[in-house]
Each structure stands twice: as C-alpha cells, then as structure tokens.
Chains A and B, each alone.
Chain A
Amino acid sequence: MKSKPIWLLALLAAAVALPLVFPNPTITTIAVLTVIFAAAATAWNIFAGYTGYIALGHAAFFGTGAYSLAIICQHWHVPADFTPFALLPLCGVIAAVVSLPLGLVALRTRGHTFIVITIAMFFVAQLLAYDLRGVTHGSAGLSLPIPLWSGDFYNMPFYYAGLLILLLALAVSWWIRNSKYGLGLLAIRDDEDRALGLGVKTGPSKLLAFVISAFFVGMLGALWAYYIESIFPPFAFDALFDVAIALMTFMGGIGTLVGPILGALLLEPAQQLFAVYFGQSGWYLVLYGALLLVVILLLPEGIVPTIRKRWAQWTAARARSSPNSPAPAPPLPPSPTSQHPAIAARGEGGER
C-alpha cells in the first residue's frame, strides 16, 4: 500500500475543491451537512467504536454545543461575521464539561444498561432544553446572528469549518488508534475484565474517550446551530441524530478509521434527498426507516470490514492459482479470526 498517501492527498484535494467546482447551493448544503455528520460519526466512533460501549445519547452534546453558541452570541452580542467560528472550540469544551458527570454516572454500567442510560440522558437533556425557559426560551427556541455573507458563497465558510473539524477528528481518531492508549481502549472492547487485570486503567480510559467524542460533537452542534440560524429543542436534541451517526458508523464499519466517514458520505446525501423530495409528507419517515432496515439486513458487518475480507480472500486465491494451475482455487474457508468483528477490524491498527 505504498500509494496510500497519494490517494489520501487526492481525496483531500477533492474534498477541498468540491464547493468550488459545484457552487450550486443545493449541492453545497448537502455537502455542509455531510461533513458535519461525517465528523460526528468519526467522533462517535472514537468512543463507541474503540471501546465497544454503544452510546446513544450524543445528541445531548450536539444540542449542548448548539445552545452554548446561541446563548453566548446573545449575551456577548457576538457580531455575525467569522467570530462565531472562533467560539466553536469553547462550545466543544462546554459540551465536554457537561459530558464528564454524565459519563461518570453512565460508565458505571456496561452493555445494554449503558445504552439505555445514555438514551435516558439524552431525553433528560432535551427535557431541560424545554423546561429551563430562562436560558433556552423553551419551545420558542433561540436565534443566532444571521451571517453577513450570502449567495453562492454562503455555504462555503460552514463547509470548510466542518471539513477542518472532520480532519481534526480523523487525526485524533488515527492517533488514538495507533497509540498505546488506543490499544487499551481496544482491549476494553475485547474483554474489559482482562484488560483491567492486565493493568489498563479502564475507568479513566473510557471516560477520556467519552469526553473527547463529546468535545467534537459539541463543536459540530455549535457549527450546525450557526448554519441553520435558529434552534429549537426537538431539532437541537434530536433522537434521529443519535441513530443517524450510529447507523453511519455501523454501515461503514464500526471501529475502523474511515468507516464512519464512508457511511456518512453514503447516508447523509440520501437522507437529504429524501428530505428535499418527501420532506413535507410522512413518506420521508417511511423511506428513511426502510433505508435503515435495508442497510442493517444487507450489511450487518459494515462496508470496510466486508471489503477487507473479500480483498484478503481474493488475493489469497490469486496467490494460490497464479503459478501455472488454471484450475480455479476453491473459495477460502472463512477462518474464525476473519469472522470475528473485533479481530477483523483490528487489522487496520496493525499497519503502522
């Protein structure tokens, strides 16, 4: 895989050039939301993919980030220029601070109970957004300053800000994946008690990953809030957000580096197109639900692990049949290790 850096550079160049080549607002709107979701899925994967703890409450941090920016802008009279972009990290920090006690409580449990507790926490957060009327204005929502720029250029700053966060999240994800810390997280995923026995500080490790992912998701929530200009509790704290990033990650391949991005690239544009064409009717929900069902039933393992397995089988088959035997090689029997998702997904970590 010597050509890998070139490919990565080409992809990056394509991502940077996209809004310049297609300045059409319909396309750039989809692009903005897609990078936001790709980054969110990548951040979610840092926690859920590497530790194996499935959290379905990250919409709480998305909403926290969104409301943080809205409230800051109101109180400090932030001008409607590029200043809000500079405030994104602050909003991420606020979301991370909020995630700390939540993580402490939730991570006392494991498995199913953890999932359900994170869902419950999400609902608490949404409820608070409705009920803390003094700060959030309840269901009346909050408005953010309307950006000064407009026209075809309107989406560009948001796109590049989202892309930057995506690259940052990807870099952090890559670094964790290839660090001793990440190895500890993967050990927790495979067997938490044994990891503890081997000296991995499981508690702080899990919590740190949880907070890191909350930080990125909070930044993205703030970016999203500035982009859509006014926020309301059911949209800032949206149960569909949790399901969407989890589905994207699963579709691409949970625990892999690029899987979440791949999933977001495929799913988010599809969702936006559904919303554009069927958003006014109930068909939108029906189609989205059906898409969800089809993806899971057809691709339960995710795209990246499936391709990797096929690739391994194909190269192995070619290596055996290449000398001078024209007879087709029998298909490789699936070995127990390649079947196991935890081990199959770990292949990526071994490349360093």
Chain B
Amino acid sequence: MDLILQAAIIGILTGGVYALMASGLTLTFGVMEIINIGQGALVILGAYLIYVLEQKLHLDLFVGLLITMPLMFGFGLLIEWAFVRPLKRDRIMLSILVTFGVALVIEGLLGLIFTTDLVRLQAWYTTASFQVAGFYLSYIYVFGFLLSVVLLAALYFLIYRTKFGASLRALMENRTAAQLIGIPVERVSAITFGIGVALTAAGGMAFGATNSFNPGSSYDLISRLLVIIVLGGMGSLGGALIASVLMLVIEDVTAVIWSPIWSTTVFFIVLVIVLLVRPQGLFGQVAGRKQ
C-alpha cells in the first residue's frame, strides 16, 4: 500500500512537469491550429542548454532557466517566422512535417555536439532526498513540481487576466473574426508559439534532472505529449493538466503493482477506452464542419 501511495505521489509530481510541456503544445494547437511535433526535441534542447550552463559556468539549474527561457522564446519566434508562417495551405499536415524537420535538425546537431551518451543534470537537490510518508523522495521532484505550478499559474494569469490573453482566447475561438475586430493575428500567433517553446526550456530542465537523456530521447517524449493532449482534448489547457497527471499516476502505479514493462501499455489502453466513449478527448470540442 505504501508503495502504491509512493508511486501515486511521484506520478502527481512528475505529471506536473509533463503538464508544463503539454500545455505549450496544446496552446499552440488551440491558437494556431498546428501541431508542433518538434516539442520533444525542443525539450531535449532545453535540457542540454541547462547542461552546458551547469558544466561550463556552474550555474544553478533554476538560475539557468532565467537565461534559457528567454533564449528558447526567441528560438520559438524564429521557427514560427521561418517555417510555420510561410505555410498557407494544408497547414496542419505541413506544420507536422516542418516541425518534424526542425526536430531532426536539432536532434542531429545535438548528436554532433554531445554524442549519444546519456547525461543527467546534477545539483545538490537531484541527489539529496527527504523522508515523507515512510519513503525517501528526492528534492528535485518537489522543486520541479513547484516550478511547474508557478509557471502554469503565470500562464493562466497571462491567458485569463491580460489583454494579450484576451486576444489569444479570441484567436482560439475564431481566427477570422479575431482578425476582423483588429487583433494582430500574426503577432499573437508568433508570441504563443514562442511561449510554447519557452515552456519546453523549463520542462527540459525538470526532465533532465529526473531522467538520463540523450538526443534521441525526444521520440519517447513527443509520443507521450501527443497522447496527453489527445486524452485531455486538443486545445484544452485544463485537459492537458489532468491528462498529464492521470498518465503519470497510472504509469507509476502500474509499474508498482504489475510490471514497469506494461506501465505505458496500460495507459494506452485507458486512452483507447476513453477515445471509444469520447472521441474528442476528455475536454475537447467536437471537430465538426467549419465554415
């Protein structure tokens, strides 16, 4: 029983980090109607950026975020400007191919620079642990969760309490109408994409401090992130949040009571059952006819 409780707690804590990465993906989808397949590679890029800062400048992982998040935001703006904005037709499909191309280039370059050896971010809180409810928990899980909570709260504030957020939500509801009432659609889209990429910098740090990673880790990540946003309902931030926690808790608990091999498979079975009942995901809207 204690083991299950432990697994559930770790599931919730890591679920928060996945929620951070997935909300960037689902937000980009909701606003721009594109799927950024490169999100996984960008998370790994974020992790490596922190790794470099830690190795060369001995910066604390969380302090490093003050540098990497703006950097990744700028990189997101660049990707959007160079590759996403020129797509005029078949945007969904072509955006998938284009962002996959970006992901391949990132993966290839990271492989050239860092080789495929597994690395892990190090700090005192990734090794030290404290006792809670009868088991030891590494500090990084709690710190990573707190980071996610703070950033997600900031994201919610931005979306629901600011003028920019109002424009963003208008775009989510109806792009054409938003343009007609004078919302700078392209600028809002670009900034949204940038925010989504900036969130991967933070997600990458938390991921890299709790997992060993190499440039190829992005495939596992993007498959999980895609599944999370489908389960939550594409374009729904709350859905992404709940689906992330659900996924990680199911996985960790299955690993304890059955076997780690089947943990992901059990989650996928849950996904298929949910989709049979609600094809649009937990909080998604039915994709119907668009005029």
A residues adjacent to B (C-beta < 8 A): 54, 56, 105, 108-113, 115-117, 119-120, 123-124, 127-128, 131, 191-193, 239, 243, 246-247, 250, 254, 281-293, 296-297, 300-301, 341
Contact = CB atoms under 8 A, between A and B. Distances in A.
Interface of B: 29, 33, 35, 83, 86-90, 92-94, 96-98, 100-105, 107-112, 215, 219, 223, 226-227, 229-230, 234, 261-262, 264-265, 268, 271-272, 275-276, 279-281, 284, 287-289
A229 to B, nearest CB: 24
Contacts of A247: 97
5 contacts: A112-B92, A192-B289, A288-B108, A296-B101, A341-B90
A113 to B, nearest CB: 6
B104 A109 contact: no
A247 B90 CA distance: 13
A243 B105 contact: no
By secondary structure, the A interface counts as helix
Nearest to B216: A234
B105 A105 contact: no
Chain B interface mostly helix, strand, loop or mixed? helix
A286 B281 contact: no
A56 B96 contact: yes
B108 A301 contact: no
A119 B100 contact: no
B89 A54 contact: no
A282 B265 contact: no
Contact of B230 (A113, A191, A285, A300): A113
Given A239-B219, A286-B109, A250 B289 contact: no
B226 A292 contact: no
A193 B289 CA distance: 7
Q: Which 10 A-B pairs rank lowest in CB-CB distance, beginning with the nearest?
A: A285-B108, A289-B104, A282-B111, A292-B101, A286-B108, A289-B105, A123-B223, A282-B112, A108-B279, A293-B101
B95 to A, nearest CB: 9
Contacts of A297: 83, 86, 98
A113 B271 CA distance: 13
Contacts of B29: 112
Contacts of A341: 89-90
B90 A300 contact: yes
Contacts of A123: 223, 226-227, 268
Given A120-B223, A246-B97, A113 B35 contact: no
B102 A293 contact: yes
Contact of B92 (A111, A191, A254): A111
Q: Which of A105, A192, A296 has the most CB of B within 10 A?
A: A296
B105 A290 contact: yes
B108 A283 contact: yes
Contacts of A108: 275-276, 279
A296 B94 contact: yes
Contacts of B111: 282, 285
A24 B35 CA distance: 43
Nearest to A133: B261
Given A115-B35, A116-B234, A243-B100, A281 B112 contact: yes
A283 B112 contact: yes
Contacts of A124: 265, 268
B279 A109 contact: yes
Given A109-B279, A113-B280, A282-B112, A120 B268 contact: yes
A286 B104 contact: yes
B103 A289 contact: yes
Contacts of A296: 87, 94, 97-98, 101
Nearest to B259: A131
A116 B230 contact: yes
A109 B102 contact: no
B265 to A, nearest CB: 6
B265 A117 contact: no
